[in-house]
Structure 1
């Protein structure tokens, strides 16, 4: 076991050293925010203060939940970086064409167009940033293009556009609109200006814009090839190792009866049950918000004719859809941890029930407060800086205001205290469970600690730096250490049921965690290829994100092991459907995280696909398919133990399981994936701006595929409603076949 511990700590320490070094490179080489953009005559186009203020305006209106910047955000409105860049290019080309040839650019012959494009490329991509004065001098024609774009965005955000799901009156202050436009301009300048001494822009030539020669860099192509080689090598090594070891997932002798049959829930475990009611309620509201968000992609401002955007615009429904997903999944996992704690310790620590109830109250305050604050911010009802502290931060997955974010952090550390003291007591007992419990404690500390990364930026922090820390939360917190926590919890549950040996569980947890984190920690950087980061980030992200896929290629063994456990002995049948949700986790890990994840992760793929509907293909199948299914499985397992002597209506769970999984599959295969592929074609053929434009998204073919979400969404929604009603029915008795006397 010692060699497994050495491997684990070596992976963690080395990986964080590399990730930290990459962070220093991002800090040092981020795109500058000039003090001024000015013309040769000295006319000020925009200032650094304008850009930072504009970033704040954009954040307060929902930020990434309405369109995107550098490809990160939502999918109905355009990517503002690409949109600004293309509009600026077209304006300049038309002005030059009208001056030189007395006709618009589209009317020129190919040779004349080529001459103007070469001139445009030189004008746009040449870096005129002067470091000593921190100023940029731009051609006067760019100043005129700036004014034209400012006028366009003022009109767009004041009058609205249903095709982009932007309501009328979103931003009526002309000064704030100009500041936000200055932020869009700066993001476009960084995406189209070569780094000093290099022929690649600050965003590695993203987005694809043929008019100025923004095409994939040589680094993107080379590191894509190398990442595929590393993937194949990793798969080969892991398959060889897996084939060489003896597989004994099931204990040699299974108990004749359920080892937990005599268990009596402790007061704190009974208090945890209400968390699962909240999980079910939040899940239902998230489903409703998801339906509305998807429909806004078709109707824009309404819901089957109802003008819902007056009260719940797209920005809010999408924000709540994302936030509620994080809330209910995290709540399910954390509640499972508190439920398991006393069982692992063998006793109920003093004051445990009080702590569980206090944490529950804090959870309600944070959830309700953050959702209300986000609505107030987006609708312009928060003044000054209050939007940042109580409203909407504008960064996807970390949308909640800073005060609510701090409250959530405090809650996580209270959870760590409640769970940690139980686990420490279990560790002190010694024996074979010590290794498993130690990993349990490590993962719990990581869950509380790594959310702190979300506090590493302020209201005016540079976007590249925000993105670095944001992905620490989204990738490392959610996809990294929650994954470790899940591995430990599932192993503990099966070991407590005596379905697997503790020695097997210990070795499996340490080995699988080490393998996963080998790619998972440094693989965080694959989210940052085009976020104003240097080439080193692209190289590391490409290689190690490919290694993330390696353990997922043999996850079928885990799925089969779980199926064998569900069928191993008659009394295990009462745990069949919780275990089947764990089987679904393995399936979606392979498909959602592995197949669909690697589909978009290589640099050359993400260059064209970032922010297209290929992203929610991966997002839905990985976030819900893996972590959501696991949350449901852990919830059902905990409730099964709490109702250990009662018979459930398992047919209800069977129906819910298959409708949820079938609905998710339909949603992806007949709607999201075809839309994403068509957008990818448009991105490659015409430019990224076109793939995100309302003209393309509202074309007849894409509208058909958008409507094809209805069957999958309906099936999924029915399954979600059924499982929520089942959980509520455990309290009322409607989900029980009969009650046995104690």
Structure 2
């Protein structure tokens, strides 16, 4: 507790003394609509695929949740025979990772020519090839996971079907192909950024930092290759959490932070020096506590006692950067006010990211991270509280924000309906709150009480899982699920409308070509 209080004081002092009161600048002119380059047009198809995966993920979530009250079917349909619970849950988790990562990768492909002011020859063909390869990996891994759960692959399941590790379920072959796709993505990014990297000179500038953050994405996902199906569980869990915690919660967040800071400086909302300083400070804060904080996943996986101590302290320190989220919310609101209505929608999702970062990753994450709490809450419904509010609330909202930043620049006004996007924003976030308040939180805390009073074995027993209270919490989350799904469906329709309109517009050969006049409503 003493270390936590001291760290909060130190980081607040550094943050406030480094802050420039004039770093958020007034932009008097509304940005013009850009014409997309050939590669940027292809990149919008990534967003379309991501939205399709988003819808399927929601559907799999409904099926998986319903199995809690009707274990052998879906409203009378004997779905369990064809899509077992283990398969639907695997698809629900994997599709979340796939669509969020697709948005982030697509944002990189869009902004690399934008920041580098360079459209390399054949870049659009490279983007198209990557989209095709990723589609094969996604479809192949989902089919393989289903076949592995059904027992069709036998001892080949680890390679072609289901590895058996949560969030890294896809077979090893698909995992290798996905890493290969990320390396190809990194090469496409470098091609577009190369002129800007040479012109920048400094190895610590924003262009270089953007490239460095992109390098970490395939690099740290590859840590999932450090174990096999014969590796002891404690060692395999160690490397798995490198993927789940460091890759998603650490380096992807740094990449997104660099991207948004760079974009805001390019648009004139932030001073370039302020954007660079904020990027470095955020990186130090998140990775400084987050890297060692990974150990809070390893309390009870055969690790020494000092790992528990380090993980507990560093996990507590992860709250420190989250205490600064309030300042980032205020800054985002100021940016939104200066955006002249142009970037208001993506900035709303960025503000939503800040909110869920504080609530989902901060409050509900800290709720289950201390060792004494995790001893009782491991493997029960307190984890989905954190998972839904952090994985979608933070990283899903961030993926949507990056997607909308890209689409807003090249979507003509007659195809971009801000009111519908706003309805989608509120539907998604209000639905998530309802899902948490009426379903996940009551069921999670009920199980936690049973675990503390009687033991984890009892909290996970059929007597508790099939109790009337647990069944009611599943039914009570349906209104929230419906509101969330309607918001998501509206988002998908708006994105598809934007993509169609973008392809109907002319194409400019280079991103630094003169901007077009704005299109009338």
Task: Answer yes or no: same fold by TM over 0.5.
Answer: yes
| Larger deviation, residues 638-647 vs 523-532 | 638-647
Tell me, in whole angstroms, the C-alpha distance in 2 between the residues paired with 1:489 and 1:731.
21
Residue 690 of structure 1 corresponds to: 458
What secondary structure is seen at the aligned counterpart in 1 of 2:234? helix
Rg larger in 1 or in 2? 1
Tell me, in whole angstroms, the C-alpha distance in 1 between the residues paired with 2:150 and 2:159.
16
Are residue 642 (structure 1) and residue 410 (structure 2) matched? yes
Query: What's the CA shift for 1:396?
Result: 0.4
Matches within 5 A, 1:593-608: 593-608=361-376
Tell me, in whole angstroms, the C-alpha distance in 1 between the residues paired with 2:324 and 2:120.
40
Residue 197 of structure 1 corresponds to: none
What secondary structure is seen at the aligned counterpart in 2 of 1:624? helix
Query: What's the CA shift for 1:733?
Result: 5.2
Are residue 290 (structure 1) and residue 61 (structure 2) matched? yes
Residue 268 of structure 2 corresponds to: 498
Q: 1:305 to 1:584 in 2, by over 3 A?
A: same
Query: What's the CA shift for 1:500?
Result: 0.6
Matches within 5 A, 1:597-676: 597-643=365-411, 646=414, 648-676=416-444
Tell me, in whole angstroms, the C-alpha distance in 2 between the residues paired with 1:330 and 1:569.
27
| Larger deviation, residues 678-687 vs 638-647 | 638-647
Tell me, in whole angstroms, the C-alpha distance in 1 between the residues paired with 2:284 and 2:30.
34
Tell me, in whole angstroms, the C-alpha distance in 2 between the residues paired with 1:476 and 1:484.
11
Scaled by the length of structure 2, the TM-score of the pair is: 0.94
What secondary structure is seen at the aligned counterpart in 1 of 2:166? coil
Matches within 5 A, 1:189-338: 228-248=1-21, 250-258=23-31, 261=32, 263-338=34-109
Query: What's the CA shift for 1:250?
Result: 4.6
Are residue 430 (structure 1) and residue 200 (structure 2) matched? yes
Residue 381 of structure 1 corresponds to: 152
Tell me, in whole angstroms, the C-alpha distance in 2 between the residues paired with 1:517 and 1:326.
21
Residue 139 of structure 2 corresponds to: 368
Query: What's the CA shift for 1:671?
Result: 1.4
Q: Residue 527 of structure 1 is aligned with which of 280, 297, 314? A: 297
Query: What's the CA shift for 1:248?
Result: 3.1
Are residue 509 (structure 1) and residue 288 (structure 2) matched? no
Q: Residue 456 of structure 1 is aligned with which of 222, 226, 229? A: 226
1:177-213 Cα shifts (integer Å, max 9, x gaps): xxxxxxxxxxxxxxxxxxxxxxxxxxxxxxxxxxxxx
Return the structure number with greater helix share.
Answer: 2
Tell me, in whole angstroms, the C-alpha distance in 1 between the residues paired with 2:195 and 2:483.
45
Residue 740 of structure 1 corresponds to: 519
1:30-88 Cα shifts (integer Å, max 9, x gaps): xxxxxxxxxxxxxxxxxxxxxxxxxxxxxxxxxxxxxxxxxxxxxxxxxxxxxxxxxxx
Tell me, in whole angstroms, the C-alpha distance in 1 between the residues paired with 2:195 and 2:365.
39
The question of whether the paired residues in 2 share the 8 Å contact of 1:616 and 1:672 is answered with yes
Residue 185 of structure 2 corresponds to: 415
Query: What's the CA shift for 1:646?
Result: 4.6
Tell me, in whole angstroms, the C-alpha distance in 1 between the residues paired with 2:243 and 2:416.
37
1:398-450 Cα shifts (integer Å, max 9, x gaps): 10111101000100000011112323432211178961122111111100111
Are residue 576 (structure 1) and residue 370 (structure 2) matched? no
Matches within 5 A, 1:577-592: 577-592=345-360
| Count of residue correspondences | 507
Query: What's the CA shift for 1:598?
Result: 0.4
CA RMSD of aligned residues (A): 1.9
The question of whether the paired residues in 2 share the 8 Å contact of 1:426 and 1:434 is answered with no
Query: What's the CA shift for 1:249?
Result: 6.1
What secondary structure is seen at the aligned counterpart in 2 of 1:654? helix
Q: 1:433 to 1:455 in 2, by over 3 A?
A: closer
Query: What's the CA shift for 1:239?
Result: 2.4
Tell me, in whole angstroms, the C-alpha distance in 2 between the residues paired with 1:411 and 1:246.
39
Tell me, in whole angstroms, the C-alpha distance in 2 between the residues paired with 1:549 and 1:319.
30
1:271-321 Cα shifts (integer Å, max 9, x gaps): 111101101100000000001111111111111221111111111110000
Tell me, in whole angstroms, the C-alpha distance in 2 between the residues paired with 1:270 and 1:263.
12
Are residue 677 (structure 1) and residue 450 (structure 2) matched? no
The question of whether the paired residues in 1 share the 8 Å contact of 2:353 and 2:398 is answered with yes
Task: Could you tell me which runs of 5 or more consecutive residues in structure 2 were left unpaired when the two chains were aligned.
Answer: 505-517
Q: 1:569 to 1:583 in 2, by over 3 A?
A: closer
The question of whether the paired residues in 2 share the 8 Å contact of 1:432 and 1:503 is answered with no
The question of whether the paired residues in 1 share the 8 Å contact of 2:20 and 2:274 is answered with no
Which one scores higher on RCO, CA 8 angstroms, separation ≥ 6? 2
Scaled by the length of structure 1, the TM-score of the pair is: 0.66
Q: 1:575 to 1:647 in 2, by over 3 A?
A: farther
The question of whether the paired residues in 2 share the 8 Å contact of 1:453 and 1:469 is answered with yes
1:455-500 Cα shifts (integer Å, max 9, x gaps): 1111211111110100011111111100100110110111111111
What secondary structure is seen at the aligned counterpart in 1 of 2:69? helix
Tell me, in whole angstroms, the C-alpha distance in 2 between the residues paired with 1:712 and 1:519.
34
Are residue 724 (structure 1) and residue 497 (structure 2) matched? no
The question of whether the paired residues in 2 share the 8 Å contact of 1:662 and 1:712 is answered with yes
Query: What's the CA shift for 1:564?
Result: 1.2
